Amino acid sequence: MKPDEIADLKRRFDIEFSRSETGEYPAAFPALPPVPVGRYTDPRFYELEQQHIWSKSWLIVGHAGELPEPGCWKLWNRAGFPALIVRGKDMKIRAFYNSCRHRGASLIRGTSGTTKVLDCKFHGWTYDLAGQLIFVPAEHEFPGLDKAANGLVPLRCEMWGNLIFVNRDMDALPLMQHLGKAAEQLVDFDFDKRRICAILPYDLPCNWKIIMDAFQESYHLDATHVRSVAPFLDYRGSVIEMWPNGHSALTVPGRRELSKLGDQFVLDAGSKSDDPRHELTRTANISFTIFPNIIGTCAEFQFPMLAFWPTGIGTTHVEIIITEPQDCPDMDPAIAKTTIERFAAVMQEDMSNVAAVQESFDCGAVREIQLGYLERRIYQFHEELERRIGSQNIPPELQIRPMLGAYIEH
């Protein structure tokens, strides 16, 4: 972050702390209407998400480090379609449906590997690493076959630093245009200079939005994270930034009494770096949402990104990709290991709430959720769902009112 941006966040911390001390709701900000619980439980809304969100959004599928050499590939199928991600001879990463153009059989089986060509395991049709059809057994049996017109069906595949994204919608905005303000604000976290150091998978008994909501607000810190996070972070000073296209950020300052400890109080530990761009990650927690399903917790060193994938209307797979700088020779491995373990423990605390929330939603005990000022990112997220799906497609009882347009920071 630039010095003026850091100074502005500190100023906003002061405003929020002062407001908390006086117990005043922001005079200019509207009270948020309730959100219908059916958006988490109704099969109609779930199907609308499948149709309008997962088939038309930029989705994270991996990291360039997983495909270091030409011919390296991985299979990905988290959103209802089989994607084959492969690095070509030209070192470009491409994505295709894992479907042969002959009769739809899979080209690659397994999860990852290396190959020189992509050959169908059913009849042997063969494609090069750029997806072009190069060999058909007994080709004379297919009179008029145009091999140039029968390459693999591509998916949009674009990069954010070392992060790989795909999109089924060939008319979607380019990835960097979709990210927009988010990419601008997060540029100092060097997405092109990070590698994977750990991947943590979890399967949860809840709708994907229930667990995602938990990471979009800090209001729960004192109750859920009593001994882990709450002793270090003060949710009362939280600053929220809402950006276009459903993206947002949350910065939670450290407890001011701990600042007296000086160098002993460092949240983002692991190195002796004093890079001024990352002053706030040492004493505050900065997290962001990338629509539709990514939450990242910014850090100069260990940097987790969570991706939430619905496996059913009431079940979710969470994949946490923890990255670190590619070149950080003074980072202490022991501290890095402790940081990962600490994050996993915090994740367990967040997960402890979701099954009960899902049960309450399913049984009808709660028919709408009440959101406060500190939870406005959740309402912004629902507004973006509404915009992408189209209010005209949503049953009236599941619709919400747009409230936050004037508060989006362009």
Sorted by where each begins, the domain ranges of the chain are 3-56+181-407, 59-167
Contact 105, 91 (CB under 8 A): no
* pLDDT of 285 strictly over 60: yes
* Cα separation, 71 vs 93, whole angstroms: 10
* pLDDT of 263 strictly over 60: no
pLDDT for 32? 98
* pLDDT of 283 strictly over 90: no
Structure tokens at 353: 């709430």
Contact 111, 75 (CB under 8 A): yes
Contact 320, 202 (CB under 8 A): yes
DSSP assigned state of 193: G
pLDDT for 266? 67
Q: What is the pLDDT of residues 209-223, one digit of tens each?
A: 999 999 999 999 999
Q: What is the pLDDT of residues 144-173, one digit of tens each?
A: 999 999 999 999 999 999 999 999 999 999
Query: Nearest 5°: phi and psi at 240?
Result: -115, 135
Q: What is the pLDDT of residues 12-35, one digit of tens each?
A: 999 999 999 999 999 899 999 999
Q: What is the pLDDT of residues 195-254, one digit of tens each?
A: 998 899 999 999 999 999 999 999 999 999 999 999 999 999 999 999 999 999 999 999
Question: Quick one: CA torsion of 138, 144, 149, 151, rounded to 10 degrees?
Answer: -10
Among 220, 206, 219, which residue's Cα sits nearest to residue 354? 206
Burial of 261 (0-12, 13-18, 19+ CB in 10 A): exposed
pTM across the whole model: 0.94
CATH class of 59-167: mainly beta
* Cα separation, 161 vs 120, whole angstroms: 32
* pLDDT of 360 strictly over 70: yes
Looking up tokens 């028919």 gives: 367
- Topology at the third CATH level for domain 3-56+181-407: Naphthalene 1,2-dioxygenase Alpha Subunit; Chain A, domain 1 (3.90.380)
Contact 301, 339 (CB under 8 A): yes
Q: What is the pLDDT of residues 288-340, one digit of tens each?
A: 999 999 999 998 888 899 999 999 999 999 999 998 888 877 677 777 788 78
* Cα separation, 244 vs 209, whole angstroms: 19
With residue 376 as reference, give the H or E element that holds it: helix 376-389
Under the banding of pLDDT at 50, 70 and 90, the label for residue 271 is low
Q: What is the pLDDT of residues 87-139, one digit of tens each?
A: 999 999 999 999 999 999 999 999 999 999 999 999 999 999 999 999 999 99
Tell me what the pLDDT averaged over the chain comes to.
94
* Cα separation, 29 vs 351, whole angstroms: 31
